[in-house]
């Protein structure tokens, strides 16, 4: 059962985001709207600028944690890719999420990957892969992302496999966009129920991001990829979201490829509800469950000799 706060938050997003954006695909309007919806970062987390693979971003770690470079099995590294429709948002805006993971014991790097339309596909993927290549050299790590960032996390898995890089031990995806062709049934069945997006405006963002590239390219629509050999995946998505079936369809295809998958569909909550972790119990539950999932996967991936030591 959804909390009362979930119902209130759903209404707030309808009024503050969906009504303001309308059917617009004006990049400046969308950026201002998302930036205005900033949420407080959790206390007890240090956020410091950084760079990995030539891509700027910021580190998030619990205050008092060992200095950067001291990651290990007790303080694993997480690459978090923020959402924003490929055109908006930043690492700083996502501090509620990265900060929560930091308090859960992760050393988190959130890159400020390049955004469209100034830097269209595949610039963001190139940045994400470059960051992952740098992280993978330091030891086992995991990846997570929401919405467009979830798309980029899955595209990073695809590219890392193609390039022969070490794959993340697991991936946590919050309402990822997995099919930019727009074939999910929830695009139609949830078009009125979704608190944040109108179908028309969401689909008009696709050409802004792709700039003529093929939406069937697995890097753009990860559901088109061969998923065999993927690490364990976790999906959290809202029942009312337009993007709901992007998660459910991808999860089913992954299971058919032999990939371990966990899926939770949350009632009522709007898209990107994890940002409201300061007051929404469903946000804290989602982030806590994702952190536990990623830790279990890292523990399972540890060499037997290290585990026995």
Mean pLDDT of the chain: 93
Q: Looking at per-residue confidence, does 294 or 25 come out higher?
A: 294
pLDDT at 93 over 70: yes
**CA–CA gap between residue 139 and residue 126 (Å, rounded):** 21
CATH classification for the domain delimited by 4-64+73-301, as one of 3.40.50.10800, 3.40.50.1820, 3.40.50.300, 1.10.287.1080: 3.40.50.1820
Average pLDDT score over residue span 261-283: 98
For 264-287, b/e burial (b = at least 16 CB within 10 A) is eebebbbbbbbbbbeebebbbbbb
Q: Is 82 a catalytic residue?
A: no
Q: Is 241 a catalytic residue?
A: yes
pLDDT of residue 21: 77
Average pLDDT score over residue span 265-275: 98
For 96-130, what is each residue's pLDDT tens digit?
999 999 999 999 999 999 999 999 999 999 999 99
**Among 82, 100, 236, 271, which one carries the catalytic annotation?**
271
For 156-169, what is each residue's pLDDT tens digit?
999 999 999 999 99
pLDDT of residue 33: 86
pLDDT of residue 67: 55
pLDDT of residue 65: 73
pLDDT at 143 over 50: yes
Which percentage of the chain shows pLDDT scores above 90? 82
DSSP 8-state assignment for residue 15: I
For 13-70, what is each residue's pLDDT tens digit?
999 888 877 666 688 888 888 888 789 999 999 999 999 999 999 999 999 876 554 4
pLDDT of residue 23: 64
**CA–CA gap between residue 75 and residue 251 (Å, rounded):** 28
**Among 147, 186, 247, 286, which one carries the catalytic annotation?**
147
Look up the pTM and report it: 0.95
Average pLDDT score over residue span 275-296: 98
Read out DSSP for 208-271?
A: HHHTT--TTSTTTSGGGS--TTPPPEEEEEETT-TTHHHHHHHHHHHHHTT--EEEEEESSPPT
**CA–CA gap between residue 153 and residue 25 (Å, rounded):** 24
pLDDT of residue 308: 46
pLDDT at 307 over 80: no
Q: Is 306 a catalytic residue?
A: no
Average pLDDT score over residue span 203-216: 95
**CA–CA gap between residue 305 and residue 309 (Å, rounded):** 6
Given pLDDT bands bounded at 50, 70 and 90, which one contains residue 72?
very low
**Among 58, 159, 224, 241, which one carries the catalytic annotation?**
241
């Amino acid at each position: 059962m959804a909390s009362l706060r979930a119902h209130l938050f759903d209404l707030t997003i309808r009024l503050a985001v969906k009504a303001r954006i309308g059917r617009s695909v004006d990049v400046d309007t969308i950026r201002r709207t998302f930036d205005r919806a900033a949420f407080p970062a959790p206390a007890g987390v240090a956020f410091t600028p950084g760079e990995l693979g030539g891509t700027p971003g910021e580190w998030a770690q619990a205050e008092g944690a060992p200095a950067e470079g001291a990651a290990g099995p007790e303080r694993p590294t997480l690459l978090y890719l923020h959402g924003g429709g490929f055109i908006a948002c930043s690492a700083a805006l996502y501090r509620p999420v990265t900060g929560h993971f930091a308090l859960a014991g992760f050393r988190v790097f959130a890159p400020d990957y390049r955004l469209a339309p100034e830097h269209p596909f595949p610039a963001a993927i190139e940045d994400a892969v470059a960051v992952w290549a740098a992280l993978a050299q330091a030891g086992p790590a995991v990846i997570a992302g929401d919405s467009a960032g979830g798309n980029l996390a899955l595209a990073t898995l695809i590219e890392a496999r193609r390039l022969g890089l070490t794959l993340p031990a697991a991936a946590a995806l919050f309402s990822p966009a997995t099919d930019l062709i727009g074939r999910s049934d929830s695009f139609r069945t949830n078009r009125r129920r979704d608190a944040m997006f109108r179908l028309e405006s969401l689909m008009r963002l696709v050409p802004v991001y792709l700039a003529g590239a093929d939406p069937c390219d697995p890097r753009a629509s990860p559901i088109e990829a061969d998923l065999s050999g993927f690490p364990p995946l976790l999906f959290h998505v809202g029942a009312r979201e337009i993007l709901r079936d992007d998660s459910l369809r991808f999860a089913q295809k992954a299971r058919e490829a032999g990939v371990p998958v966990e899926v939770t569909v949350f009632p009522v909550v709007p898209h990107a509800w994890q940002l409201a972790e300061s007051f929404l119990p469903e946000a804290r539950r989602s982030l806590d469950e994702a952190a536990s999932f990623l830790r279990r996967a890292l523990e399972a991936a540890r060499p037997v000799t290290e585990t026995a030591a």
